[in-house]
């Protein structure tokens, strides 16, 4: 996470004012359980020690929102009345302004504020940068305006903002995982009931390999997979495809629907397998490889770069690895193996294929959504 002092210095440099609120919102790694959230299934995410640091300063104009991001540098400036009337937003600010708008839509009284955004979380890498920003803004505005919103409400509003104003028909996974994260523990979420519990994990960090093929959930591939899962559930007369048996999933005549259903049903089983492994103090890393193979073959959301990462690290002694996030690029997580050996192998593989070199970092698992000032 960006040091609070550095984030405050950036804010002061932009708006020449002392901070009123500082919020940290972590990214998240979904250890296992991919594309199960909107299918009423199971997932096991872990918040990491990288994320968004949001600094809010009091605006000199009580009716305006101003915002700047260290990664963008263009200042967004808009009246609260214009946000109320807007139907859509463009560019990176659609996340921030969407979060403001859902609060206004629900009748919360907001006053003007200046936002500065710092991040050490790669954008589009499958580590939930957009959800982290949305949660930071909703939580920060709650503190700034004395709204005293519950954590459930913060999560719900952030999710609604991404669906309604950021153009992404996403499930609850990212927002729920960040909003209810516990430091150095995984969160098992049952999306059929929205119940969750904290789980011990037998490690303190994971290797993340960012393929540097970056994606947007609002692109069409994610939406098509979601519709296919919904259609499969309808054919089998289930509310969610997660309710189907493997026999029912395999009975679907449409190849694409069958493959999507098989992934979801087997992925739920893999989540349960990992939870059992954690209870025994084991990593359950082989389930990650099975998950990646299913995401590649059944859900068809992997890409050449993420496949190459998994293949390379497994040849070099990793216990397990898989792509994380919505797919079509993004990052892979790796369990076990020697860091330098893994890195050398992947870089060599990418060079031979003419791919852009990936980025490697160790992610600690201590992230929580919190007020830092």
Active-site amino acid positions = 174
In terms of DSSP H, where are the helices of the chain? Answer: 4-15, 80-85, 93-105, 129-144, 151-165, 173-179, 220-235, 246-251, 255-279, 285-297, 304-315, 339-353
**What sign does the dihedral 106-111-114-120 (CA atoms) show?**
negative
Nearest to 123 by CA among 170, 77, 76, 91: 91
Going 7 to 9 to 13 to 15, the CA torsion angle's sign is: positive
- Give the residue from 113, 99, 79 showing the smallest Cα distance to 25: 99
End-to-end CA distance of the chain: 14
Q: Are 198 and 187 in contact (CB under 8 A)?
A: yes
Neighbour tally for 106: CB within 10 Å: 11
Q: What's the angle, vertex CA 277, arms to CA 297 and CA 189, rounded to 5?
A: 70
115: helix, coil or strand? strand
Question: Quick one: tokens of 58?
Answer: 């009091």
């Amino acid at each position: 996470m960006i040091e609070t002092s550095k984030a405050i210095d950036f804010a002061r440099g932009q708006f020449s004012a002392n901070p009123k609120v500082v919020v940290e919102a972590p990214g998240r790694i979904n250890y296992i359980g991919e594309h199960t959230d909107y299918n009423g299934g199971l997932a096991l995410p872990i918040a990491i020690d990288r994320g968004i640091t949001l600094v809010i300063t009091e605006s000199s104009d009580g009716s305006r929102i101003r915002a700047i991001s260290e990664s963008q540098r263009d200042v967004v400036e808009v009246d609260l009345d214009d946000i109320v009337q807007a139907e859509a937003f463009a560019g990176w600010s659609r996340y921030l302004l969407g979060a403001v708008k859902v609060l206004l839509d629900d009748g919360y009284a907001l006053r003007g504020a200046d936002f500065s955004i710092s991040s050490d979380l790669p954008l589009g890498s499958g580590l939930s940068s957009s959800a982290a920003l949305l949660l930071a803004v909703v939580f920060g505005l709650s503190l700034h305006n004395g709204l005293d919103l519950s954590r459930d409400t913060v999560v719900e509003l952030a999710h609604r903002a991404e669906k309604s104003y950021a153009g992404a028909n996403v499930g609850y996974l990212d927002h729920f995982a960040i909003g209810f994260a516990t430091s150095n523990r995984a969160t098992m979420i049952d999306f059929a009931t929205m119940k969750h519990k904290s789980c011990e994990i037998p490690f303190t960090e994971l290797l993340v390999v960012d393929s540097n093929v970056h994606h947007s959930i609002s692109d069409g591939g994610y939406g098509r997979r979601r519709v296919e899962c919904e259609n499969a559930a309808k054919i089998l007369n289930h509310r969610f495809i997660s309710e189907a048996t493997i026999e029912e999933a395999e009975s679907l005549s449409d190849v694409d629907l069958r493959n999507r259903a098989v992934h979801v049903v087997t992925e739920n089983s893999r989540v349960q397998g990992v939870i059992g492994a954690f209870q025994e103090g084991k990593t359950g890393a082989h389930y990650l490889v099975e998950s990646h193979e299913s995401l590649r073959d059944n859900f068809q959301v992997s890409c050449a770069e993420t496949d190459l990462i998994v293949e390379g690290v497994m040849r070099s002694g990793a216990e397990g690895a898989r792509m994380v996030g919505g797919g079509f690029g993004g990052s892979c997580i790796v369990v076990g193996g020697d860091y330098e050996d893994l890195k050398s192998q992947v870089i060599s593989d990418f060079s031979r294929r003419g791919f852009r070199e990936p980025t490697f970092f160790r992610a600690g698992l201590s992230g929580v959504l919190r007020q830092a000032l």
